[in-house]
Chain A
Amino acid sequence: MSDEGTQVSRREFVHTGLQLGAALGVSGLGGLTIVGEAGAQTKRQHPWESLPAGETAPHTKLQLRTIGLGVSVQDRFLREFERRTGHKATGKVTGLTPMITEWLAGGYRNYDTNETNANRNAALWSAKLLQPIPVDKVVPWKSARDLFTNPKALGHDEVSGWPLVEIWVNPKTQQEFKLVPQFFNCDSIGYRYDLIKEDVTSWGSLVDPKYKGKVGILNDSLLTPGWCAGYMKKNNLAQIKRSDNMTRKELDTVIDFLIKRKREGQFRAIWEDYGQCVNMLASGEIWLADSWNPVVEDVKKQGVVCKYAFPKEGFTAWFHGVAVAKDTPNLQAAIDYVNFCLEGWWGAQVAPQGYYSPTATCEAYLKASKRTDPQGRFNDYEWWYLGGESEEPKKGWPIRGRDTGSFRKRWSNVMHWMVWPDDADYYAKRWNDFLSA
């Protein structure tokens, strides 16, 4: 965190100017003069740290070219990065598979970073398109959450080794990142509480004949059979060893079950993308869907009573990270970007969408903001991380706070992580059987 607005002595002023000049790669007296005159009002140790409003770091010759989903590659984020660091920033918004495909097809030369889902990043790592990032280059990582460093942490999966196995080159020594975690969350069920009139507490509701013709499910050959397997496993409806990575026989059982439900008219529609799910829930086309936290938050913003379920079988967990291209000519800008995403401001920006930050640095930003609670009683940290239900719930709290409660409550209830299954091709084959049934 920076000490915004701190007045500094002339010696500190020059010292800071030198540091900043060096960090920005500005050489020569001219560069130092510019920094000394225009910049250093604050004691910034690194170019990615916060900068008082109205100030802009001098331009560097570096640039950042990133690619990712619309949730992480946003113009407002890139402009803030530019303002702080002086590196020119451009971003391409695309889908999960296209961003990997583009890199594998040789497009990685046009980018410095890839902001992707951990289960797909393994393809880039296997193709040797990424470079490992030393842990000491990522300064905010000293505030990393246990989940990303400790195999005993709440939410860690001992069987798959997730999430550590996809973060670190060597999960035991934890010296180099394959993928630096950027944001993460758990998926569950979004439902129209006003139409259903009760809380949904199980993945089984999606296949419950009670909601026949009112259910939407995601068109994803890996994720949808995954939650269904978890539901069947936890409720002893099938013998399944790992719901995240099934054998062919186990998958057959799950798909056959889904086909039976489909033929009985259980599913109103099979949704394809974020906006489609928001529209379907908001318009009442569907009453419930396997969904994502931000989808539910966006439906709520339309004044619709929508909730995010706390399934008794557990959530399905995932994380996104920033991977750095192997031969980037802008390595320092890429590392600055990684640091920028974990510095706290970025994490605080995505919290109101329902996402968590892998470092605790966003806490200070969120505690200083009260944008979410309609009554203004809880700050944003209390809402998004403590669930609005802090250890001593405040009297007169009109609503319960964040759906599914606190970070601790959510992460103590993980069904499985969204790993890449060993037999993905068979998943796709059987999913096509389901779709065409």
Chain B
Amino acid sequence: MGTPVEQTQTPPAKAPALEVSTTLVVRRRVAFLYRHPGVASWLLVLPGTLWMMLFVGIPLASIVLFSFWRSGFAGLVPDYNVENYASLLGGRTFWRITLWTYEVVIMSLAGVIVLAYPAAYAIWRVVRDDRWKTAVLLLCIVPFWTSYLTRTITWLPMFGREGVVNRVLLALGVIGEPLEILLYTPYSMMWGLWSLYIVFMIGPLYHSMTKIDEDVMSAAAMLGATPVRTFFHVVLPLTRPGLMAGSLFVMVLGLGEFFTERVIGGAQNPMLAGLILRQIDIFQWASASAIAVTLTFLTLVTVSAMLRVFDLRKV
């Protein structure tokens, strides 16, 4: 490091010229982008698009391609046919599993909405202190720092024959025999799914609620609306964006669900995503691809239908 005096005495000779020319180039480019906003938009979109093409587009295109091939014992054979789809869509099992998958997803969604609305509402209206709001929101989010698999498995010691719930109920004398309905049934699976998905609903709902103008709530109260009436006629319509965002999360996650069904549900009622795994287990990659494509298609149709009901882009 030199002294200030030294710096003024011996200024760098070429650097300012270079700096000036670089600045000029940048300015010109920025000016060009201002004059051509379309180009700027394309450039902004480019990195994300490239990323998506590379890591989503190419795998997805491959899966579509493979779904028209045939599975050999040691890999895929490029022998184009529609047998994978014919066999899948022509069997009753696929439709039965699809129907069951939608039943589970809709029940999960309904349960999550019923549980998440009061929770989000309480955080918004009941908890007044901001620090407490943060604390409660954190309580909702912290379990989600652990892996989805771990959170699912955690229900086993809770609901098992010798699990916490059964032990407590037995100790209280409420039941004489351990309840077996708590584990390896569709009901237990539903509990598991609700717990897994609830944060995806609480978050968007709470966010929507905080966007509601306080004056609107005051106006409703001044005009004599009861809290229940206010909720249904003011809060509910104004939180539709949050509800729709949360529903999309739950719907998409639910349609891809395979683990909870196996571990908590006892694997006796498979869902669509589980079907893919079953095919992969025996190296039937072509039929697994066909199921994956069908599931992706169903998911897209479902999401599109939901967006037709309420278009999030218009918010």
Contact = CB atoms under 8 A, between A and B. Distances in A.
B160 interface: yes
Contacts of B266: 268-270
Interface stretch (A118-126, A182-190, A339-347, A361-369): A118-126
A267 B268 CA distance: 9
Q: Could you say which of A104, A219, A262 has the most chain B C-beta atoms within 10 Å of its C-beta?
A: A219
For chain B, give the interface size range.
20 to 34
Given A283-B161, A425-B282, A436 B75 contact: no
A432 B184 contact: no
A80 B74 CA distance: 34
B75 A219 contact: no
A270 B268 contact: yes
Considering residues A127, A262, A283, which has the most beta carbons from chain B within 10 angstroms of its beta carbon?
A283
Interface in B260-275: 262-263, 266-270, 275
Interface string B151-181: 0000010001110000000000000000010
B108 interface: no
A170 B184 CA distance: 47
B102 interface: no
B275 A432 contact: yes
B287 interface: yes
A425 B97 contact: no
A176 interface: no
Contact of B279 (A100, A213, A220, A428): A428
B224 interface: no
Contacts of B184: 268-269, 285
B175 to A, nearest CB: 16
Interface residues of A, number: 37
Contacts of A152: none
Contact of A425 (B96, B160, B161, B284): B284
Contact of A219 (B183, B262, B275, B279): B262
Interface in B71-115: 71-75, 87, 91, 93, 96-97, 100
B283 A97 contact: yes
A424 interface: yes
B74 A436 contact: no
B92 to A, nearest CB: 8
B87 A429 contact: yes
B216 interface: no
B213 interface: no
A276 B153 CA distance: 10
B267 A270 contact: yes
A276 B184 CA distance: 12
A166 to B, nearest CB: 13
Contact of B75 (A104, A272, A283): A104
B281 A428 contact: yes
B54 interface: no
Given A213-B180, A432-B97, A435-B267, A222 B282 contact: yes
Nearest to A272: B262
A264 to B, nearest CB: 13
A293 B278 CA distance: 24
Nearest to B184: A269
A435 B270 contact: yes
A384 interface: no
B159 to A, nearest CB: 10
A413 interface: no
Interface string B182-220: 011000000000000000000000000000000000000
Interface in A73-101: 97, 100-101
A433 B269 CA distance: 10
B278 A431 contact: yes
Please provide the 8 A-B residue pairs with the shortest distance between their CB atoms, ordered closest to farther: A269-B266, A127-B74, A270-B267, A126-B74, A269-B184, A123-B74, A424-B282, A435-B270
10 contacts: A262-B268, A270-B266, A272-B263, A285-B160, A424-B284, A428-B282, A431-B278, A432-B93, A432-B97, A435-B267
